[in-house]
Amino acid sequence: MVILRQHQSRCSIFGAVFVLQALLLAAAPFVSPGFRLAPSNDVRTVAGLALAAYAILIYQVLGWLFGHVYPAVPVFGIAPGPTTIFTIGILLLGPWHVTRWLLLIPVLWTIIGGSAALLLNVPQDHGPLAAFLVVLAFGPQTGSTRVSGAAWSKRLALVAQIHVVAPASH
């Protein structure tokens, strides 16, 4: 019973933090009138849209391939893992001077929730950790950074290498 109470209190805290995130997202256009989420021809857009696609499509397919069946498979919009990945992906479409603050809660969740990959046997939850690495690699990029070039390939290879090596080291 004590364990259940401890778990419920953590869930209440996480729920309150996600409500705070929703309020911050709703307030962003009023606090920063120039704030808008729009794709452009830069690496952050490619990374952001890739994360959004992973959250909506690939996450559920991986869940199915790893043996999770509905309703046990975590789905976008309900489970925090894919919803956080999607949020990070969409926020990468915005101006960094605003989105860097809006990314704080989702990025913190990637660290907390990414542990589900190991603790709860949800392999697709390596995705939040990869999303965190994508933010580190591509977040601070300015809109002038075009998709082509060696820098894009090097950054993508670094993110892939860190993500592949990290799970194996546990």
**Collapsing DSSP states into helix, strand and coil, what is residue 65?**
helix
Q: What is the structure's pLDDT at 6? A: 54
Domain definitions of the chain by residue range = 2-168
- In the 8-state DSSP scheme, what is residue 148? -
pLDDT tens figures, 59-113: 888 888 888 777 777 788 888 888 999 999 999 999 988 898 999 999 888 888 7
- CA atoms within 13 Å, Cβ hemisphere of 55: 26
pTM of the model as a whole: 0.75
Q: What is the structure's pLDDT at 157? A: 56
Report the phi/psi class of residue 149: left, alpha or beta, with left for phi > 0 and alpha for psi in -120 to 50.
left
